[in-house]
Amino acid sequence: MRCPHCGNFDDKVIESRTLANGEAIRRRRECGGCGRRFTSYERIEEKQFMVVKKDGRREPFDRLKLEKGIQRALEKRPVSQMQIESLVSDMEDLAEIQGRTNHEISSRDLGDLVLEKLGAMDKVAYIRFASVYRHFEDTAEFLNEIQKLGGDKNMDGGS
């Protein structure tokens, strides 16, 4: 570590202390050149998880944006807030696992993960989310998606 007083690179750590619940370390150092003391901080630098949009833009993963989309799809459906929060946490974990190597996931892959989970949870919410995510423009697209789900049986979410 370079001394901020004389520029010398010869120093020794005389005290270390953990800060912020283990997220940082404060170190008191003494310069071997001028003998003055100074403080340095050590933190883990985490690479931000990104979502790659259709047009190639990258934006930071936003858990709140994901949660709002899922809540909109599940609006007035027999699904508790606790189930929604659990689903959002699962989605966040799955997205990070899928994009682990390069710290990013495509918006298409993220949307497909959400559809897969919503399809198992609530068929109406699945159709709602799919209609926005896939930009349905007419009833034929709705009917096609419903047929993929196995018809219109049990469109009430299982109740």
pTM of the model: 0.60
Q: pLDDT tens digits for 31-60?
A: 999 999 999 988 876 778 899 998 999 999
Confidence of residue 157 (pLDDT cuts 50, 70, 90): very low
Q: Give the angle 12-13-19 at the CA atoms, nearest 5°.
A: 160
Q: In angstroms, how far is the first alpha carbon of the chain from the final one?
A: 64
CA distance 110 to 84: 16
